[in-house]
Chains A and B, each alone.
Chain A
Amino acid sequence: MTAATVSPSRSRQALGRWKLPIGVVIALVVAYALLYGGVIYQSHVLSIPTTAAKALDQAQQQMINALTIGAIYALIALGYTMVYGIIELINFAHGDVFMCGSFVSWWLLTTLGFSGAISNPVLLTVVLILAFAVSMVVMGVVGVVIERVAYRPLRNAPRLAPLITAIGVSFILQNIVFVVVSNSLINSPQILPNPIIRFGPISIREINLFVIVLAVALMIALQAFITRTRLGRAMRSTAIDREAAQLMGVDINTTIALTFFIGSALAGAAGVVQGLYFGITVFNIGFQAGLKAFTAAVLGGIGNTTGAALGGFVIGYLEVLSSVYGYGQWSEAAVFGTLVLVLVFRPTGILGQQTADRA
């Protein structure tokens, strides 16, 4: 069996049923504290007095920022980690699938003639569902096509071949959009109204809430699919041992295609979210986002969906943290520095099984 597996149960095995939630809570608290420290630090450096209440408020808002961007990274990271888990391929094109997804939703919403927020809740819901459905399906299909055309023929070739192909595909997608659609930033309609919602002490904007909840929901759905359904089991068995799975009557090609479909669909969803949250898209957002998402996947333990989600949030948090402490221009360095350190001290990532690589 390979270290890379789509099964979440292993991580539970490694951590114990309750360690994960507890760990998450502790991590949240620590993260919050660090942000608070950052705010205080800044006001100290700029010698602008601030009150504890104000600082707490700030830290909370920054936490929300981190969770939101983290959610987007997490959604992309899931696709990476699933594909890696099942065919051990770094699908460099995945980031650009995400980019295409954002363009699909942009195209849909603009052709439907929406530009700003939709006040009518019913219409809003319908449009949202439509946007996500279309973008996810289209991107899913694109993902399957990519796999069929570019990766399947190379399944038994040396490792290097599909990796290079993946890079090629990434550039093809990016430049098709660049040449055909737009070579600069374009507005994407933000159809969600943006009021502040309050839960007791916590106040959060609707868009942030929407993004976080949606991402978490999709992740839970994915977990359920992988662990509960027959196809999910097929995916896991394929990930663990392709030959054996084949012997057990699992249709490898379909399973792998399915994996690509789901992964790409999630990236498509992330694309829609990007449009709704930032209100812009551009042909080259895929590269950076994809890079960070993959870092997230490795960080969480490549092949481990829970880990990928976690990694996504960690990356998002690191970016926010670096800007909170006033070192925003170093955020990328911080992200990749962390990656290297994790690989040195815990090669299998946060939730991967602890096994040192030999040979």
Chain B
Amino acid sequence: MTAGTDVAGTTTSAGDAPAILHAEGVTKRFGGLVAVRNVSFDIPEGSIVSLIGPNGAGKTTFFNVIAGLIDPSEGFISFLGERMVARSVRAWAEPFFWLAPSVVAAVVGIGLGSVGSRVGLDVAVLAAVLLLIVSLLTAIVRPPWYVRLLIRAGVFRSAKPNEVVNRGISRTFQNIRLFQNMTALENVLVGMHSRMRANLIDSAFRLRRHRREETEMREEGRRWLAYVGLEGRDDALARNLPYGDQRRLEIARALASHPRLLLLDEPTAGMNPVETSHMTALFGQIRSELGITILLIEHDMRVVMGVSDRVTVLDHGETIAEGTPEVVRANPLVIEAYLGKGAAS
């Protein structure tokens, strides 16, 4: 099929349960090295799916593909039935769309100038500048019609991280990436950024929308902090929080954007068993109370077995097993991948 339809085409989930996220043959190469090879799987709505595998299995790479940090080399990921992430097609062509209008104006201007119309020249020059500004802004704000125009022209640009968030996916990081010098509350407020509507004018002149929003959001922010067990730490700088609390704060920050799918990248890494069990409990809570679907990355199998409905095992970038925790645990390939050859027997 042509690039256009390919790009425009959406997909229905392969699975029987309604899939919130569907990955199809996702492959990512770095130079010669293949980090993820032809991974396809579904995340049913309202479930907790775990992606496990030993170090170097390509979990994080796959994760970053979903989060919009990396374009896949092949395959695509669709969210809520809409193609979200895929290899960009003819991305280089996009700048031409910004320049085209102003170039036309400029040419017209030169034409007018050459026939001696000074006023025409001035107007055209002005028009060229304005058009350029407008089209640049359009290219950055990317209104739907602009995207549709691009798709019709066969240009597809994979979603950027912030667009992924706006579609309802938020994440945490394996190595904590809080805003170290902001307070806990400010971190959560940043998490709410995509939901806040106050614009420059509102904030500059403290209009009602700004005031209302600020008070509401600060209130809600405190609730989120309380939800993950950080009540009263609003004004603590993130960098001064203990390790476990930083992990919790990251989750609060992720929840603050009201996601439908939450991506957790080794959320229990470096925690002691007690903290780990609390954390695991929190996942169940989030799913049951907030109805948020969770994709969990772990290489510690014991952590995931408790909470997961489905487990997918990656090794050397390939899916080697998929199914319920019990099935996966029994799978000799998995045991081999974790414990090395011969361990299965």
Contact = CB atoms under 8 A, between A and B. Distances in A.
Interface string A329-359: 0000000000000001110000000001011
Interface in A165-179: none
B69 A345 contact: no
B92 A345 contact: yes
A356 B69 CA distance: 11
Nearest to A356: B91
Contacts of A359: 69, 160-161
A358 B88 CA distance: 13
Identify whether the interface residues of A are mostly helix, strand, loop, or mixed: loop
A356 B71 CA distance: 10
A358 B91 contact: no
Interface string B65-85: 000111000000000000000
A346 B88 CA distance: 15
Nearest to A353: B31
Contact of B160 (A344, A346, A358): A358
A345 B95 contact: yes
Contacts, number: 14
B180 to A, nearest CB: 11
A20 B221 CA distance: 56
B161 A358 contact: yes
A48 B54 CA distance: 77
Interface in B129-168: 160-161
B42 to A, nearest CB: 26
A251 to B, nearest CB: 27
A345 B95 CA distance: 7
Nearest to A358: B69
Contacts of B69: 358-359
A286 B88 CA distance: 42
Interface in B78-119: 88, 91-92, 95
Contacts of A356: 88, 91
Nearest to B64: A358
B315 to A, nearest CB: 24
A178 to B, nearest CB: 38
A168 B222 CA distance: 44
A346 B93 CA distance: 11
Interface string B57-69: 0000000000011
A83 to B, nearest CB: 25
B95 A344 contact: yes
A346 B92 CA distance: 8
Contacts of B95: 344-345
5 contacts: A345-B95, A346-B92, A356-B88, A356-B91, A358-B69
Closest 9 CB pairs of A and B: A344-B95, A345-B95, A359-B161, A358-B69, A356-B91, A358-B160, A359-B69, A345-B92, A358-B161
Interface of A: 344-346, 356, 358-359
Given A358-B69, A358-B161, A359-B69, 11 more contacts: A344-B95, A345-B92, A345-B95, A346-B92, A356-B88, A356-B91, A358-B68, A358-B70, A358-B160, A359-B160, A359-B161
